[in-house]
Amino acid sequence: MVGNMTTIVDGRALANTLMAELQKTVTALAQQGVIPQLRIVQVGDDPASNIYIRNKLRRAEKLGIDAQVVHLSATISQADFMHVLARLNADPTVDAYMVQEPLPPQIDQSAVVAAIDPQKDADGFTPVNFGHLWQGDPGPVPATPAGIMAILDRYEVPIQGKRAVVIGRSKIVGRPLAAMLLNRDATVTMAHSKTVNLPAVTREADILIAAVGVPHFVTADMVKTGAVVIDVGINRTAEGKVTGDVDFAAVAPKTALITPVPRGVGPMTVAMLMQQTVNLAKERVGHE
């Protein structure tokens, strides 16, 4: 049973609201003869990737964004892969592109990310854009942290002066999210697998973000009453059920606001990717 004062975030409904707002921008661009162009580079045929890509293509089509998959063989060489990226960088009709993970072992992921044109960086992962983010400068940002910030803002969660604890230090979520929270004047702690006495750290959090990839990692004793809890985890149980990093049933009654899994952060990630693609298309029009 969820506490009387607990708000459960509806990520799907919020994503739909944001997309309806974005639709107006896409329509305005179309009237100028501009269709935002997104390319998704996929290497091989990972089943989970296929699902993620399908979601992105579906959302793009609804909006009027031209999203296409650049499908490459799982045996592609590093040199050939870099040629594909160079072609995308040079193509004036492509506004944004992203490389779908996982990549096969023969591909150097760091080199790939560094080769993406920062002005076409749909994922916000390039070292240049990462640097902009940590300096508090504008530019493309990773979609999942952007989605989390949009949830906090739309649900009017105060950030300035609040204690935020991010569990997980990945380049995709933890690190960029810490920078975004810091840019909004939160007091940020980054916790991880080597953090000593983690529950004592997390109990200090006004805003607690779990991005560890371990089912039910965050238990009720790790959360202070009235906290805001954001669950980034997407884990599959032995029964094939999708579950988050937070023990939702036990934790939710203690919280002021919590995101469920599924229908929490997930839909917002795709929405933010679309928003970034449209922003980059607008910049292209502005530069012409």
Which residues define the annotated binding site for NADP(+)? 168-170, 234
HEC letters along the chain: CCCCCCEECCHHHHHHHHHHHHHHHHHHHHHCCCCCEEEEEEECCCHHHHHHHHHHHHHHHHHCCEEEEEEECCCCCHHHHHHHHHHHHHCCCCCEEEECCCCCCCCCHHHHHHHCCHHHECCCCCHHHHHHHHCCCCCCCCHHHHHHHHHHHHCCCCCCCCEEEEECCCCCCHHHHHHHHHHCCCEEEEECCCCCCHHHHHCCCCEEEECCCCCCCECHHHCCCCCEEEECCCEECCCCCEECCECHHHHHHHCCEECCCCCCHHHHHHHHHHHHHHHHHHHHHHHC
- Residue 107 phi/psi, 5-degree rounding, is -100, 130
Place of tokens 């009237």: 31
Q: Among candidates 9, 21, 94, 7, which has minimal Cα distance to 272?
A: 21
100 is catalytic: yes
Among residues 37, 42, 95, 100, the one annotated as catalytic is 100
User: Would you call 121 a catalytic residue per the annotation?
Assistant: no
Of 123, 206, 245, 247, the active-site residue reads 123
Contact call for residues 159 and 186 (beta carbons, < 8 A): yes
Binding site feature residues: 168-170, 234
Residue 123 appears among annotated catalytic residues: yes
Active-site residue, selected from the candidate residues 56, 120, 162, 254: 56
Supply the residues annotated as catalytic.
56, 100, 123
